[in-house]
Chain A
């Protein structure tokens, strides 16, 4: 075989790929061993091929995509609502002393309460189904957004504001051209944290509010029938969606805004 750069590159790539997959292969072998020789009956601790075939079956019949879509819609609705409220509150707190004094203590205590703890209350207030789930997601997403938007506005250099004022910027201009872009790296961090939190809460709340379709409900409902394979396939999808949200949505947004403006190194 000739040692052309291409073959060398291919070898390197194969090696890297092997290194990436090795841990998963080892874990899969351990899992198989435990499934076959471990103390659990196969119904509770299924073998990998059972999980994979359940996964394939659910994808092909369209059940899994349907549940995932429904969950993502709920996430989008809740997250948009939460971030809208959160950014507004955070900006107010950063710009006005009275809003800061009034809201900071309440927000810090509220931030320390897991959103899920409100779930039973929301169910009593709004019934079962979509409404309490979306509102709870919005509610949980709000807190990290508020805290970071507030910090972001406070972090805008006062010299920028003074310079803009000297040059005759109106309030609206000041806000759109200086405060908003200046605070944006923090706001984006807040949105990212908010989305992560919303995602975590949503999965759990779908178990509690008995929505009819959704990934959280899928895995919780599978418990009744001891369909551990369905549960684990559902968990895999939840992990994939979570990873996708992080990698595809936020790293992109950051790259196109704050990194491009040179405010954040990547």
Chain B
């Protein structure tokens, strides 16, 4: 633990020194690569005035809607694919063709279809998040030990019970892994979407907008916020969910458990 804290402090100290040297070297003018003395106050000012929280709220709103809809659509499709061969044969070719298309390639189309604003960003997050969820859920259902299903059937479990008590919990480690992957992809999609399908709020938008006014300090401050939020989601939300469910049931080993 001590080594971890020490290492983290040293690491960010090291990064700060490198940046400061780069900023003051005169390689770029100071308006383009501002020193930390400028970035930190810009960030503090955004926090004090509360604007950064509005941006965060907008970005999270879009990502949670998109991710939620993707989970609502992706998990059932994945489970049906795992349970019924016909569904698998129908859906799998579509998924393998659509999933390698980067979600951001759809931005221009989505702008025309949904207009600028929230709807286009949410649709983008939905597109980015759906496929990892479908593929992981499908893998999860297929990985369920057949003996469990047969045992439950022998003991007289019906379709509903089988689903809620065996299939869903059994595939949950994969479903959570899928959500995690989906989040990582959505995080990229939402920032990119906000830049191009410009609205008036959101972390991606504020970075893009700062370019117009050459506010590199605001840009870099926002970048730090994006990094901390992304890492925070990964470490706090997903690892905690994992530990509380599949980790506790002894299905996977979680970090720190």
**A9 interface residue (CB < 8 Å to B):** no
Contacts of A123 in B (CB 8 A): 211
Least distance between B11 CB and chain A CB atoms (Å): 4
Question: What residue of chain A has the Cβ atom nearest to residue B106's Cβ?
Answer: A235
Interface secondary structure of A, over-half rule: helix
Contacts of B208 in A (CB 8 A): 120
With A117-B223, A200-B188, A219-B105 known to touch, is A23 a contact of B112 (CB < 8 Å)?
no
With A23-B91, A220-B108, A239-B98 known to touch, is A116 a contact of B188 (CB < 8 Å)?
yes
Q: In whole angstroms, how far apart are the Cα atoms of A223 and B115 in the complex?
A: 12
Contacts of B28 in A (CB 8 A): 125
Can you list, as one digit per residue, whether each of A110-127 has a CB less than 8 Å from chain B (1) or not (0)?
101111111111011100
Least distance between B100 CB and chain A CB atoms (Å): 3
Can you list, as one digit per residue, whether each of A210-238 has a CB less than 8 Å from chain B (1) or not (0)?
00000110011011001010011011001
Question: What residue of chain B has the Cβ atom nearest to residue A220's Cβ?
Answer: B108
**B20 interface residue (CB < 8 Å to A):** no
Q: In whole angstroms, how far apart are the Cα atoms of A101 and B11 in the complex?
A: 7
Contacts of B234 in A (CB 8 A): 112
**A108 interface residue (CB < 8 Å to B):** yes
Least distance between B68 CB and chain A CB atoms (Å): 20
Can you list, as one digit per residue, whether each of A1-37 has a CB less than 8 Å from chain B (1) or not (0)?
0000000000000000001101110110000000000
Give residues of chain B (173-214) contacting chain A, Cβ–Cβ below 8 Å.
187-188, 191-192, 195-196, 203-204, 207-208, 210-211, 214
Give residues of chain B (84-111) contacting chain A, Cβ–Cβ below 8 Å.
89-91, 93-94, 96-98, 100-109, 111
B195 touches which of A120, A219, A234 (Cβ 8 Å): A120
With A23-B93, A105-B8, A235-B106 known to touch, is A125 a contact of B33 (CB < 8 Å)?
yes
Give residues of chain B (228-243) contacting chain A, Cβ–Cβ below 8 Å.
228-231, 234
**B135 interface residue (CB < 8 Å to A):** no
Interface size on A, residues (CB 8 A): 56
> Which A residues lie at the B interface, using CB under 8 A?
19-20, 22-24, 26-27, 40, 44-45, 101-106, 108-110, 112-121, 123-125, 199-201, 203-204, 207-208, 215-216, 219-220, 222-223, 226, 228, 231-232, 234-235, 238-239, 242-243, 246
> Which B residues lie at the A interface, using CB under 8 A?
3, 6-8, 10-12, 14-15, 28, 32-33, 89-91, 93-94, 96-98, 100-109, 111-113, 187-188, 191-192, 195-196, 203-204, 207-208, 210-211, 214, 216, 219-220, 222-223, 226-231, 234
Q: A23-B93, A102-B11, A242-B100 are in contact. List 7 more A-B contacts (CB 8 A).
A: A110-B227, A113-B223, A201-B188, A207-B108, A220-B107, A238-B101, A243-B96
